[in-house]
Amino acid sequence: MDGAEAKALLKIAYEDEPVFLPPSVLDKIMLDDIPDEVMIEVGSLRDGVMYLDWSGRLFKDQDQIKGEADYTWTRKYWYSPIGLEHYLDLVRRAVELRNRVHGDVEVTNYNDDGAYIHMTFVISTRKKNLGKAYQHVKVLCNELEEIAEKASDEAGKRLSEIASRLSGWGRQSLDTLVNTVEKASSNDERGRSLEELISQLFETIVGFTVTDRIRTATEEIDIAVLNDSNDPRFKRESAILLAECKNWSDKCGKNEFVLFKEKIENRSNRCSLGFLISWNGFKDTVTKEMLRGSREHTLVVPMTGKDIRAAVRDSNFSDVLALCWQKAITT
């Protein structure tokens, strides 16, 4: 879509249906090109599915373009160390403070029904160009979430420290953990060893801090890593990285790959990179799924037990991680 096509689409838009525009054309749209009462959502159409670049709407209000941020989130898919209600309460307080000091943002709705929390706030951009207004809105939304994100990171670190102490982590060497993962007589022992092994390996990389580890009844181990790396390969990635370890005797397939990808996308735009670790490897369907989604923003990096054993043997987890990442981005 080019600028002319976007303007033509806006002219025939209905008031009760949002117009979807890709980020690439926003700079071509000015205030006068936007009809009154028409809402614009920013996203790209891929394989018949609209992928939103930002959750919210842009619209014309007299002599400026405004943005309405939409935080409609469910507890069912909330993975932060602090509760959803605590996170959004901090965001709401930040919005209210910003309103008192600058007067350019206002909460328009806040509703908690037990399953979902719905919060919207409107940002006055004082911009007449849609692209500039959009960038202003995104930057301000990120600023308003900073305190909540910091609180979540600090809580995650503390919980991880407590979990480590209670489980006696750090007492076994990496070589011993690899041996236990391969030869443990019970799933519980194997799962605990795999959890500690992967967590310890991520902690060896300068700038990486494990902030959350959850081992589930389905033998999946979820690990969240705070990314403050100066390595150019990882500095370009998101603030949060996810790792999921499959403690299975079989190979990991397409369905597990897709579900893990959804977990990454549900991390409030703070995560775009995840490492899916399947000790016994992957089925061919995973490679096909990676090729199908190669243009998407979210990246899932497959790693096998062979990769982990090599990293432990040669004491170079950072290099192995980077090599697997490189393979994934060129697939």
Of the candidates 207, 211, 209, 171, which has an alpha carbon nearest to the alpha carbon of residue 192?
Answer: 171
**Domain match, 132 and 196 both:** no
Q: In this predicted structure, what is the pLDDT of residue 30?
A: 94
What pLDDT score does 51 carry? 78
Domain boundary among the residues 99, 129, 153 is at 153
The CA distance from 54 to 43, in Å, is 7
Kindly state whether residue 99 falls inside one of the protein's structural domains: yes
CATH of the domain at 324: 3.40.1350
Tell me phi and psi for residue 115, to 5 degrees.
Answer: -100, -45
285 and 188, same structural domain? yes
Question: What CATH number is attached to the domain comprising 143?
Answer: 3.30.1460
> Same structural domain for residues 237 and 190?
yes
302 with 183, same domain: the answer is yes
Nearest to 180 by CA among 170, 190, 169, 188: 190
Answer yes or no: is 163 within a domain. Answer: no
pLDDT of residue 44: 81
**pLDDT at residue 100 in the model:** 96
pLDDT given for residue 294 in this prediction: 55
Predicted local distance difference test score (pLDDT) of residue 67: 96
Last residue of a domain, one of 153, 177, 205: 153
Residues 9 and 140 placed together within one structural domain of the fold: yes
Residue 157 pLDDT: 80
Work out how many domains the chain is built from and give that number: 2
The residue with tokens 């060893």 is 193
Look up the domain containing 46 and give its range: 3-153
pLDDT tens, per residue, the chain with 331 residues: 888 888 998 988 877 788 999 999 999 999 999 998 899 999 887 777 777 888 999 999 999 999 999 999 988 878 788 899 999 999 999 999 999 999 999 999 999 998 999 999 999 999 999 999 999 999 999 999 999 988 988 888 888 777 767 666 666 788 888 888 888 887 777 777 888 889 889 988 988 988 877 666 555 668 889 888 888 888 888 888 899 988 777 888 989 898 888 888 877 667 888 999 998 889 888 888 887 755 567 889 999 999 999 999 998 999 999 899 888 888 7
Please indicate, yes or no, if residue 130 is contained in any of the structural domains: yes
Provide the pLDDT for residue 238. Answer: 82
* Any domain includes 216: yes
What's the confidence (pLDDT) of residue 40? 94
Indicate if 187 and 325 belong to the same structural domain. Answer: yes
pLDDT of res. 216: 60
How far is residue 239 from each of residues 64, 253, 273, measured CA to CA in Å?
A: 32, 27, 9
Q: Would you call 123 helix, strand, or coil by DSSP?
A: strand
- pLDDT for the residue numbered 187: 76
Q: Determine, yes or no, domain membership for 161.
A: no
Shared domain for 136 and 177, answered yes or no, is no
